[in-house]
Structure formats: structure tokens, C-alpha cells
Amino acid sequence: MLSYRDIADTNAMIAAAAKYKHAVVIGGGLLGLEAANGLKARGMNVTVVHLMQWLMERQLDRTAADMLQQSLEAKGLQFLLNIETSEIAGGADGRVKAVRFKDGSELAADLV
């Protein structure tokens, strides 16, 4: 699991993108979308998980957010909206293997 706060975090994400395939980005705000777009540009399959009903809900109304989401989906990003993360599950090797949600569903992940 990585945070996205400084250049060291950015370099860690770039290195992970070269090694792993499936990324889950928690948060559909500006920073999360920037991270998701960067990981996608480096060849990862990326799903953005967002608690609210639409992306960037503090900056955009529903119509604008829908347009943004459609544009990002056209670039290959995937979205799970209005869903709450409950757990980041690890494998026997200590690495992340999935993100679990309060509704009981799960999404495989190599990087969160």
C-alpha cells in the first residue's frame, strides 16, 4: 500500500507500476485521479474506488462529474462509486492481494 504525498511516493508508484498489474486507488478526488491516470499511463489496470456517488463531489456537480468519468473511462480507467472500503487484505507473502468492501464484495489488487 502506498500513499501519494511527495516525490518519494511518486517514485515508489512508478517502480510498482513496472512490476505489478492491478492497482486500486481509493479516493476519486483530484489527487486520487491524478495517481490513477499516472498508473494507467504506465500500463496498469486501474480501478478507482470512491465513497461518494460521483467523482470530485466537492468541486464538480453531478453532470460535470459524469462527463469527467466518461472521459477517464475512455482512457481505460474503471470506477466503483458509492462503495465503502472495509479492509485491505494481504496474502501469505505479506503483500496486498485485495480490497474488501462493506457490502462483502472484493477486488483483487497488487497495489493500493
Quote the cell numbers at residue 74.
475512455
102 in a structural domain: yes
Q: Give the pLDDT confidence of 27-86 residue by residue, as tens digits.
A: 999 999 999 999 999 999 999 999 999 999 999 999 999 999 999 999 999 999 999 999
Number of domains in the chain: 1
The whole-angstrom separation of Cα 94 and Cα 57 is 34
Q: Give the pLDDT confidence of 7-29 residue by residue, as tens digits.
A: 887 888 888 888 999 999 999 99
pTM of the shown model: 0.91
CATH number at 50 reads 3.50.50.60
58 in a structural domain: yes
75 in a structural domain: yes
Amino acid of residue 31: L
35 in a structural domain: yes
Helix residue spans in 1-112 (DSSP H): 7-19, 30-41, 62-74
22 in a structural domain: yes
67 in a structural domain: yes
User: What's the burial of 39, exposed, middle or buried (CB within 10 Å: 0-12/13-18/19+)?
Assistant: buried
2 in a structural domain: no
CB under 8 Å to 84, separation ≥6 — which residues?
Answer: 51, 101, 102, 103
Q: What is the pLDDT of residue 7?
A: 85
1 in a structural domain: no
Expressed as residue numbers, the domain containing 71 is 7-108
